[in-house]
A and B are shown apart, each in its own frame.
Chain A
Amino acid sequence: NAGVTQTPKFRVLKTGQSMTLLCAQDMNHEYMYWYRQDPGMGLRLIHYSVGEGTTAKGEVPDGYNVSRLKKQNFLLGLESAAPSQTSVYFCASSSAPVETQYFGPGTRLLVL
């Protein structure tokens, strides 16, 4: 039982490049979330999903897209990376919206 895993752990991009962050959970959770964490800003919700095939916008969705083709996976895409997207990205999952969120170890992204 690995919980929530994220790949990659660290990535450096040049401005304008694209990439996809992968989140996988093995707890059969319906809800999955993508957050970004910046110094002094706490966790800000980018997008979330309430089940396979569904996605919804969070607080800071601009510049990101997501897909939930399989229940266990939630992908976060950056089509054209910008320096403002330099951050630590966390994925989380939960069985219900107000239940415990289980977080992955994070992906550290640097956009030059």
Chain B
Amino acid sequence: TQLLEQSPQFLSIQEGENLTVYCNSSSVFSSLQWYRQEPGEGPVLLVTVVTGGEVKKLKRLTFQFGDARKDSSLHITAAQPGDTGLYLCAGGSYIPTFGRGTSLIVHP
């Protein structure tokens, strides 16, 4: 089983702050996905990264895939209360494995 370690586990910040969350593994992934899960709902895909060194932007969210395709980061600029949720990374060569997630709370 390919293990994905996410850090930090919890993050509580004020509106307007920047933050970065990480997803690390000792295994190489063919692709890695980031999902966001809001309270009481199922996860929703934010982005898929495929190429080592790839950077993708989604409004204020910037996703980076490590050169060796073993790790990824998610950076949020000027966080807003609407960014509150659980951020999950998932990767694998066949059936994806999910990390335990980073729970983010953005206070107004």
Contact = CB atoms under 8 A, between A and B. Distances in A.
Interface residues of A, number: 22
B41 A105 contact: yes
A106 B33 contact: no
Interface of A: 4, 33, 35, 40-45, 48, 58-59, 90, 92, 97-98, 100-101, 103-106
Given A43-B88, A97-B94, A104 B9 contact: no
A45 B41 contact: no
A89 to B, nearest CB: 10
Interface of B: 1, 6, 9, 30-31, 33, 35, 40-45, 48, 88, 90, 92-101
Nearest to A43: B98
Given A33-B95, A43-B90, A103-B44, 13 more contacts: A43-B98, A44-B98, A45-B95, A48-B95, A90-B43, A98-B92, A98-B93, A98-B96, A100-B45, A101-B43, A101-B90, A101-B96, A105-B41
Nearest to A96: B94
Nearest to B1: A59
14 contacts: A40-B9, A42-B99, A42-B101, A43-B98, A45-B98, A92-B42, A97-B92, A98-B30, A98-B94, A100-B33, A101-B33, A101-B90, A106-B40, A106-B42
